[in-house]
Amino acid sequence: MMALNFTNSHDDNYSYPYEDLISMCEADDYKMTTGVCYAIIFCLSILGNGFLVCALTCYEDLKRVTNLFMFCLALFDLLFTLTLPFWCVELLHHWVFGDFACKIMTGAYFVGIYGSLILLTAMTLDRFVVVVVRSNWLTGRRRLKCSKVACAGAWIISLIACLRDSIAANAQKVHIKTYSCESNSMHDEKAGYYAQLIMLFLIPFAVIAFCYTKILMTLMSTSARHKYRTVILVLCIVIGFFICWGPYHIIMVLMSIYEPDPCESYQLHVTFIICRILAFSHCCINPALYILRGKYRNLLSSFLFCSPELRHPGLYRRTTDPSDSRIHPYTTEGARENCAAQQTNSLELNTLKTL
């Protein structure tokens, strides 16, 4: 993918008309800032996504569709996060890991990005079917099977999509003893980059925008809005993705088709650095949004303040999905209490009749 050069390192070595100006403006000063930001993002993402994976596997039921999607999404974020130390070393020093590691890290980088977007699209389609379509055919068991197929498909499609970039990536000599991990095809195959941008960013964005427009219209026309908390969670996750990655793709397109004059090139370069850091910070967003839910705040505080009495799976597991419109609002404990009350009233009525 053409974006690999901008993603990894040595921003002052671009083969662009403003290379001399960037060097003159001491763009190397931003390498330290970018490297520190990568290190912070890495630590936050490892902690957040690690906690999310632990919470979902130990205290939740992965047979619930939303939990399964969130689990796979956390795995994609962790895979992307594991590449950050390599890019950090390349920024602060140079690429010292060789060709094979360059190919592997490039593949992991793109698998993390593409897999996350494919899963977000699948989550949106699932919400669309549950809230808008409300098909009786799509039972809970079939939804779970479809979600498993979507998760497997996300891995397969993202692995196939990253092959072109992974194969083309190599440790290229920049100076006498300095290397960078770059793609050989990034300068002469712009059509490939635009095809990936359309297929794996713009089309999913259009699908998600259409689905959520219908979902929100449906929610506004019903009074049982309390059932759709999962919709709001997924919507926030989707918005977070496009806020983080949208500016990055926009600046990438501008840098590929626009030839700025010397006065604008340095500003464009700085804007690119900011957008890249924002895009990479996305791997911290999903666990933060999920932890905002009340039960996960309690679970997180129990780990931080050593309160083992709060770390019981029964306190967090639920057998139903509260966002499913076909589920009656009185479930689990509430249903049992309601049934017991009805039995008590019936018994009292029969007693009065016998008297």
CB burial readout 160-169, b (16+ within 10 A) else e: ebbebbbebb
Q: Which amino acid is at 118?
A: I
Asked if 346 and 259 sit in the same domain, the reply is: no
CB 4 within 8 A of CB 183: yes
Looking at residue 3, its pLDDT comes to 45
In 3D space, the residue among 279, 288, 188 whose CA is nearest the CA of residue 242 turns out to be: 279
Asked if 185 and 224 sit in the same domain, the reply is: yes
Asked if 273 and 203 sit in the same domain, the reply is: yes
What CATH number should be reported for the domain holding residue 212? 1.20.1070.10
Residues 301 and 241: their CA atoms lie apart, in Å, by 27
Looking at residue 145, its pLDDT comes to 93
Q: What are phi and psi of 36, to 5 degrees?
A: -65, -40
Compute mean pLDDT per 10 residues along the chain, 355 residues long, and list them.
42 41 48 91 93 84 88 95 93 88 93 93 91 83 92 94 88 75 64 77 90 86 63 86 90 78 73 92 86 64 57 50 42 44 49 44
Looking at residue 224, its pLDDT comes to 53
Looking at residue 63, its pLDDT comes to 86
Asked if 346 and 276 sit in the same domain, the reply is: no
Asked if 346 and 271 sit in the same domain, the reply is: no
Looking at residue 298, its pLDDT comes to 63
Asked if 103 and 212 sit in the same domain, the reply is: yes
Asked if 335 and 284 sit in the same domain, the reply is: no
Asked if 160 and 303 sit in the same domain, the reply is: yes
Asked if 335 and 317 sit in the same domain, the reply is: no
Looking at residue 20, its pLDDT comes to 41
Residues 227 and 293: their CA atoms lie apart, in Å, by 15
The CA distances from residue 312 to 7, 58, 59, 250, in Å, are 42, 9, 7, 46
Asked if 185 and 291 sit in the same domain, the reply is: yes
CB 6 within 8 A of CB 272: yes
In 3D space, the residue among 233, 9, 284, 241 whose CA is nearest the CA of residue 115 turns out to be: 241
Considering its fold, how many domains does the chain have in total?
2
Asked if 143 and 117 sit in the same domain, the reply is: yes
- Domain holding 335, by residue range, is 330-355
Asked if 217 and 284 sit in the same domain, the reply is: yes
Looking at residue 226, its pLDDT comes to 52
